[in-house]
């Protein structure tokens, strides 16, 4: 079986094709074709429908005559309804489109790609895999904001959480590495990329997560502020900032970009090493906040058996990880300097804490598209 995975970002469309064998296990880990269409909505490619046609053209070249047996779509927001992958029909597409207001940059492209793929390959099953669904197990005390109930009932204002596909994928692998069953696994899992979040997992279920109503809440990110006193936003509104300006400010002009002038972790750690005070402060602010969340989530998950790091920064930035682990000292966590320096690149799971660390710290490369392909096969069922 060939499974095509489509991952629609706000201005990109990534795709990959994976082959599954008769037993429906992945034949080899690597995709047999993959690519990315960039700069969508920026003039070159009009929209995700056009991007999909480009993908179809590239697929026809790479795998002549290929029609996928199933298509898996990454969808950012599944709201309260979707607790897992959903086999797509017209009603499901409508439900996803009704969530567009909650994720205006991300859900519309996902829905467009589902419609385009359904039209291109009628009869080929399509599966939607949601970033939010792993967090549908959050207890109410973790997803509630202390706001009037009316705001939740009328507008859906609550915490949803994101990065769920990645968190579940690396969490399961970490449990395997440690020889603990997933259902008994308690851990704190940090996905650190351009967008970053941290999740507390108890018994294989998400019980706390740092992103909230939108992916803006929580950690210091590439261009997003993470936590800010909402009073500051009210103050800025009184100064005349409108919703679009605030949106740009918080989502695109904050985080590392604002503090260090750059959202590339390699450049930031290099600048800090060369004595640049802005880069140093940006790193310390980010690490301080992340360490504080990890300490809190150690409590939320009733005692973590592991801390797991993933995403572009978690997987690759030994400097960032070293700063973090030093700050986690009060939890009894001890950095293994040599193992940390070796754990560069996508080399599979690594432990970067010492043998006597109270909690092991693991670096596990994420592969959201692999996880989406597996979820797609699972949702399609035997055919």
Q: Which residues are catalytic?
A: 131
Confirm or reject binding of residue 7 to ligand ADP (CB under 6 A): no
Contact between 83 and 375 under an 8 Å Cβ cutoff? The reply is no
Please identify which residue in 24, 153, 266, 292 interacts with ligand ADP, judged by CB under 6 A. 266
Beta carbon of residue 204, minimum distance to ligand ADP (angstroms, whole number): 23
Span of 23-31, 190-198, 211-219, 271-279 interacting with ligand ADP by CB under 6 A? 190-198
Q: Where are the beta strands (DSSP E) in the chain?
A: 2-8, 13-19, 33-37, 70-75, 86-87, 126-130, 187-192, 196-202, 205-209, 306-310, 350-351, 361-363
Task: Output the six-digit token pair for 244.
Answer: 């679009």
Confirm or reject binding of residue 313 to ligand ADP (CB under 6 A): yes
Lateral strand order in the sheet of 187-192: 205-209, 196-202, 187-192, 306-310, 361-363, 350-351
Confirm or reject binding of residue 372 to ligand ADP (CB under 6 A): no
Please identify which residue in 312, 339, 349, 378 interacts with ligand ADP, judged by CB under 6 A. 312
Contact between 107 and 59 under an 8 Å Cβ cutoff? The reply is no
Alpha-carbon distance of 93 to 81, in angstroms, equals 13
Residue of 152, 99, 88, 164 lying closest to 126 (CA atoms) = 88
Taking CB under 6 A as the criterion, which residues in 96-115 touch ligand ADP?
A: none
Span of 36-44, 133-141, 231-239, 305-313 interacting with ligand ADP by CB under 6 A? 305-313
Residue 261 or 312 with smaller CB distance to ligand ADP: 312
Confirm or reject binding of residue 188 to ligand ADP (CB under 6 A): no
Beta carbon of residue 252, minimum distance to ligand ADP (angstroms, whole number): 13
Q: Please give the size of the binding site for ligand ADP, defined by CB under 6 A.
A: 13
Please identify which residue in 311, 333, 367, 372 interacts with ligand ADP, judged by CB under 6 A. 311
Residue 162 or 297 with smaller CB distance to ligand ADP: 162
Confirm or reject binding of residue 222 to ligand ADP (CB under 6 A): yes
CB neighbour class for 26 (10 Å; exposed up to 12, middle 13-18, buried from 19): middle
Confirm or reject binding of residue 155 to ligand ADP (CB under 6 A): no
Residue 15 or 20 with smaller CB distance to ligand ADP: 15
Alpha-carbon distance of 157 to 161, in angstroms, equals 12
Task: Output the six-digit token pair for 258.
Answer: 């604002």
**The length of the chain, given as a count of residues:** 383
Judged by the rule CB under 6 A, the positions of this chain that interact with ligand ADP are 193-195, 222, 263-266, 311-313, 316-317
């Amino acid at each position: 079986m060939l499974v095509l995975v489509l991952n629609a970002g706000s201005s990109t469309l990534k795709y990959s094709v994976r082959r599954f064998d008769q037993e429906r296990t992945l034949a080899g880990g690597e995709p047999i074709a993959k690519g990315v269409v960039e700069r969508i909505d920026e003039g070159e490619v009009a929209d995700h429908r056009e991007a999909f046609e480009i993908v179809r053209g590239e697929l026809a070249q790479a795998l002549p005559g290929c029609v996928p047996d199933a298509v898996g779509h990454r969808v950012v927001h599944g709201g309260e309804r979707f607790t897992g992958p959903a086999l797509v029909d017209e009603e499901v597409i409508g439900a996803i489109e009704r969530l567009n207001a909650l994720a205006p940059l991300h859900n519309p492209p996902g829905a467009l790609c589902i419609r385009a793929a359904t039209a291109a390959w009628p009869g080929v099953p399509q599966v939607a895999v949601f970033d939010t669904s792993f967090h549908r197990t959050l207890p109410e005390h973790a997803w509630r904001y202390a706001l009037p109930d009316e705001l939740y009932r009328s507008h859906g204002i609550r915490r949803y959480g994101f990065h769920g596909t990645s968190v579940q994928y690396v969490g399961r692998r970490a449990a395997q590495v440690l020889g603990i069953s997933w259902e008994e696994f308690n851990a704190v899992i940090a996905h650190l990329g351009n967008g970053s979040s941290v999740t507390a997992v108890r018994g294989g279920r998400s019980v706390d997560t740092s992103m909230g109503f939108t992916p803006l809440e929580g950690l210091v990110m590439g261009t997003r502020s993470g936590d800010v006193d909402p009073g500051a936003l009210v103050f800025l509104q009184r100064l005349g900032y409108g919703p679009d300006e605030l949106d740009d400010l918080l989502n695109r002009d904050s985080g590392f970009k604002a503090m260090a002038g750059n959202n590339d972790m390699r450049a930031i750690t290099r600048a800090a090493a060369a004595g640049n005070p802005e880069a140093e402060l940006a790193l310390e602010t980010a690490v301080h906040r992340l360490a504080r969340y990890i300490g809190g989530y150690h409590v939320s998950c009733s005692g973590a058996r592991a801390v797991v790091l993933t995403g572009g920064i978690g997987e690759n930035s030994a400097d960032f990880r070293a700063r973090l682990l030093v700050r986690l000292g009060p939890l009894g966590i001890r950095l293994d300097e040599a193992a940390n320096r070796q754990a560069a690149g996508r080399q599979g799971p690594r432990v970067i804490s010492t043998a006597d660390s109270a909690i092991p710290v693991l670096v596990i490369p994420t592969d959201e598209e692999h996880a989406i392909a597996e979820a797609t096969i699972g949702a399609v069922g035997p055919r």
